[in-house]
Structure 1
Amino acid sequence: MSKPSPRRDPLTFTEVFDLPVAVDLRTAARALGICPHTAYRLIHRGVFPCPVLRVGGRFRIPTTPLMRILGIEERPVYAVDLEAGMDIEPDGGTS
């Protein structure tokens, strides 16, 4: 009998901003709050919520569309700035 994998909590807002340009399927699933098995099923059904790249034998998910699905707008903001208390204005500016 196989041992169940440990449950991983979804990514935090700060962790999402620290993601590279593309992530593996497990990381994308974690960001979406779903298990990797569900992510694989969605891909094979053609209904994964963002673009999926097949690189060799692996799936890669571009971070920008993933963030858009999560409702995070594209802005040149860094996690360290957010943690330091930088305010983001609704018109796209920062202060």
Structure 2
Amino acid sequence: MIHHNTDTHRFETTIDGHTAYLSYVKLNDDTLEYDHTIVPKELGGQGLGTRLVKFALDYAKEHHKKVVPSCSFVASFINKNPEYQSLLA
């Protein structure tokens, strides 16, 4: 289960003691910079990175935020999924 950790500015999930996350920087009240997607090798190959990005983008959409995808994984996901391109700042 992915959750939004507002204290650390991350969307994260922990499985078997390993935490995967997508971190962000709040640029202003309306814009979030998604800067890193981290999946430990122990959790690799399960689609967690994609699920984290989708969760984070859905969060932005639901909260009327724009996104700056400085993480290449996030940028690639947005390029492949046109329904999220309207979120780009």
| TM-score normalised over the length of structure 1 | 0.23
TM-score by length of 2: 0.24
